[in-house]
Amino acid sequence: MGTLDWSNLGFGYRKTDYNVRCYFRNGKWGELETCSEETIPLHMAATCLHYGQECFEGLKAFRGKDGKIRVFRIEENAQRMQNTCRGILMEEFPTDKFKNAICKVIKLNERFVPPYESGASLYIRPLLIGTGAQVGVHPANEYLFIVFVTPVGPYFKGGFSTNPYVIIREYDRAAPLGTGCFKVGGNYAASLRANKKAHDLGYSCEFYLDAKEKKYIDEAGAANFFGIKNNTYITPLSTSILPSITNRSLMQLAEDMGMKVERRPILEEELATFEEAGACGTAAVISPIERIDDLENNKSYVIAKDGKPGPISEKLYNKLRAIQYGDELDTHGWVTIVE
Ligand code: PLP
Ligand code: COI
C-alpha cells in the first residue's frame, strides 16, 4: 500500500480489501454482508447472464484537507439505481440500505481513500443483478446488490485539459424509447464498437447523435455534453441519454454563478457556435472539449481555438471540486461525511 502512487493513478480496477453485498430472496432484501471475495458464485441461468438484468452506478468519495471523507450525492445515485430497476423490472434497492452500504464499504477500505493533495478519489461502484434462474424471458425472483471501491485518477487523458472527440454515426448507443436513460450494462455493450473506433482513430471518446433523426447531440459513451455561449449553460434534452448527476450539479452551479441554464435539443450544427464545451460525469468530472469531428460529414467543430479549457468550464470545475473535497461550503447539501 505504501507504494501506491496516488497522484498518478489511472482509471481502472485495483483490488481493495472488502466489498459489501446484499441478497434479495423470498421477496425481501436481507442484511448487508461484508465480503473479501472478488468473485460471485452464480447460477448459469441467472437473468443477468442471459437477459441483461444488470445495472450499476458510479459515485466518488474524497478525502478533505481536514482528513474527513466526503461522498458526493449518494441519494441521487440511490434514486437513479431505483429508476433503472423500474426500467428493467428488477427489485429496487432502498435508499437507506444504499447509503449504509456505501458508507460501510468506504469505512472498510478507508486505507484506499487517496490523500487530499493527490487530487485522486475513491470510485464507488454499486451494481445490482438478477441472480434467479429463468430460461423464458422473464424477470428473476432473486437479486444481488454489491458495492466495491477502487482508488482512481482521471478518466480522460490529462485530467482537466482539452481533448478531441468524434461523432460516430455508424452505431447507435440507445433508442429514443429504449434504455439509454437507465444505467444498464447493455448500453455500454452497445457502445463498445463506437468507443473502439473513436480510440483507434486517436480520439478521447465517441459522441452519439439522437438515433432517430441523427441531427441532435445526445451524449458521449460515459459522459453528458454541455456547451457554453452568451453566459448560458446549454445541455441536451433527450430521452436516450443518462440523467447525469454531475451535469445536474453543474447546472445548479452555473445558475449560482448567475448564468442562464437551458436544457433543450442541440442541433449538431450548433456546435460551431459554442465558446466552450465539455463532457461531464462522475468519472470524467469535466473533460473540456477541444473539438468534435463528424468524419462522415467531413466537418470539424473546433471549440477550444487556443487548445485550452475555457474560463467558465474552469470555474465550474474548480467550484465542483471544492465542494467535493470540502474546501467550500456545501450549500446544496450534496455531501455526506462518512463518520
Ligand atoms: N452518461 C453516461 C452514459 C454515463 O455512463 C455517465 C456516468 O455515469 C454519465 C453520463 C455521467 O453521469 P454522472 O454524472 O451521474 O456520473
Ligand atoms: C461514471 O462516470 O461513473 C461512469 O459510470 C462512467 C463509466 C462507465 C466508467
Calculate how far, in angstroms, residue 211's C-alpha sits from the geometric centre of ligand 2. Answer: 21
| Ligand 2 in reach of 186 Cβ (< 6 A) | no
Angle between helices 74-87 and 95-108 (to 10 degrees): 120
Does the pLDDT at position 141 exceed 80?
yes
Per-residue pLDDT band at 2 (split at 50, 70, 90): low
Calculate how far, in angstroms, residue 63's C-alpha sits from the geometric centre of ligand 2. Answer: 20
Asked whether residue 140 falls in the same domain as residue 203, the answer is no
Ligand 1, closest atom to CA 247? 14
| Burial of 307 from C-beta contacts in 10 A (0-12 / 13-18 / 19+) | exposed
Predicted structure pTM score: 0.97
Q: Give domain status of residue 338, yes or no.
A: no
pLDDT (average), residues 185-199: 98
Asked whether residue 184 falls in the same domain as residue 131, the answer is no
Asked whether residue 180 falls in the same domain as residue 282, the answer is yes
* Model pLDDT, residue 157: 74
Share above pLDDT 90 across residues of the chain, in percent, rounded to a whole number: 95
| Domain CATH for 270 | 3.20.10.10
Asked whether residue 243 falls in the same domain as residue 123, the answer is no
* Model pLDDT, residue 159: 76
Asked whether residue 318 falls in the same domain as residue 229, the answer is yes
* Model pLDDT, residue 26: 98
pLDDT digits (tens, 9 = 90+) for 246-291: 999 999 999 999 999 999 999 999 999 999 999 999 999 999 999 9
What CA–CA distance (Å, rounded) separates 185 from 200?
22
| Ligand 1 in reach of 222 Cβ (< 6 A) | yes
Does the pLDDT at position 195 exceed 60?
yes
Half-sphere exposure of 56 (CA within 13 A, CB side): 19
Ligand nearest to the CA of 81: 1
Q: Give domain status of residue 332, yes or no.
A: no
For the chain, the average pLDDT equals 97
Indicate the residue among 152, 175, 210 that finishes a domain.
152
Q: Give domain status of residue 63, yes or no.
A: yes
Indicate the residue among 100, 118, 152 that finishes a domain.
152
Asked whether residue 94 falls in the same domain as residue 218, the answer is no
pLDDT (average), residues 114-136: 96
* Model pLDDT, residue 4: 85
Ligand 2, closest atom to CA 123? 3
* Model pLDDT, residue 285: 94
Specify which residues 54 forms β-bridges with: 129
Ligand 1, closest atom to CA 248? 14
Per-residue pLDDT band at 155 (split at 50, 70, 90): confident
Asked whether residue 270 falls in the same domain as residue 185, the answer is yes
Q: Give domain status of residue 157, yes or no.
A: no
pLDDT (average), residues 124-145: 98
Q: Give domain status of residue 100, yes or no.
A: yes
Asked whether residue 181 falls in the same domain as residue 74, the answer is no
| Domain CATH for 63 | 3.30.470.10
| Burial of 118 from C-beta contacts in 10 A (0-12 / 13-18 / 19+) | middle
Asked whether residue 140 falls in the same domain as residue 247, the answer is no
What CA–CA distance (Å, rounded) separates 77 from 336?
13
Asked whether residue 117 falls in the same domain as residue 181, the answer is no
| Ligand 2 in reach of 222 Cβ (< 6 A) | yes
pLDDT (average), residues 29-43: 98
Ligand 2, closest atom to CA 60? 3
Ligand nearest to the CA of 245: 1
Minimum mean pLDDT range among 8-17, 46-55, 149-158, 201-210:
149-158
- The residue range of the domain holding 265 is 163-325
Asked whether residue 126 falls in the same domain as residue 261, the answer is no
* Model pLDDT, residue 1: 55
Atom 11 (ligand 1) nearest CA: 281
Q: Provide the domain count of the chain.
A: 2
Q: Give domain status of residue 23, yes or no.
A: yes
Indicate the residue among 131, 152, 173 that finishes a domain.
152
Q: Give domain status of residue 335, yes or no.
A: no
Q: Give domain status of residue 308, yes or no.
A: yes
Strands (E), the chain: 19-25, 28-29, 33-35, 54-56, 59-63, 69-72, 121-130, 143-152, 163-167, 205-209, 217-220, 224-229, 232-235, 260-263, 276-281, 285-294, 299-302, 335-338
What CA–CA distance (Å, rounded) separates 144 from 130?
7
| Ligand 2 in reach of 178 Cβ (< 6 A) | no
Asked whether residue 140 falls in the same domain as residue 255, the answer is no
